[in-house]
């Protein structure tokens, strides 16, 4: 699995409009080849800054399949008017997963 992390700054006063656009666009992502999930996070410290996290089966599903699709064009039509600048995109893979460390068998449960 690959996570797409998009940091998006939104024009001041258009936060609710952007959130509505993302809500509308979620179906575009979820119907795309290889997309298995999507979440939008908003910064508490910088309320006009968002992190859009999209789960893809492969990097190619995002960079080739989605980015060259009508769904991507529609996503940019919906969300793009609210961007304060160009979104910053990264792709992530899990390096260390602490979820397994909290199982009773690990001996770490309740050790804090």
- Say how many C-beta atoms besides its own lie within 10 A of residue 8's C-beta: 21
CATH code assigned to 2-106: 3.30.70.100
Supply 62's token pair.
Answer: 């995002």
Task: Note the Cα 15 to chain centre separation in Å.
Answer: 16
Domain map (residue ranges) of the chain: 2-106
Position 107 scores a pLDDT of 60
Cα 28 off chain centre by = 13
Beta partners for 61? Answer: none
* pTM for the full predicted model: 0.85
pLDDT of residue 98: 87
* pLDDT tens-digit series, residues 61-79: 999 999 999 999 999 999 9
Q: Residue 111 above 70 pLDDT?
A: no
- Model confidence pLDDT, tens digit, residues 35-61: 999 999 999 999 999 999 999 999 999
């Amino acid at each position: 699995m690959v996570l797409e992390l998009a940091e998006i700054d939104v024009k001041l006063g258009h936060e609710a409009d952007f959130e509505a656009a993302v809500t509308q666009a979620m179906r575009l992502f979820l119907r795309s080849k290889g997309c298995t999930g999507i979440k939008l996070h908003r910064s508490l410290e910088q309320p006009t800054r968002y992190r859009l996290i999209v789960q893809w089966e492969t990097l190619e599903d995002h960079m080739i399949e989605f980015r060259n699709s009508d769904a991507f064009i529609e996503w940019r039509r919906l969300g793009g008017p609210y961007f304060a600048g160009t979104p910053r995109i990264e792709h992530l893979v899990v390096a260390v997963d602490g979820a397994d460390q909290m199982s009773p068998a690990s001996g770490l449960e309740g050790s804090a």
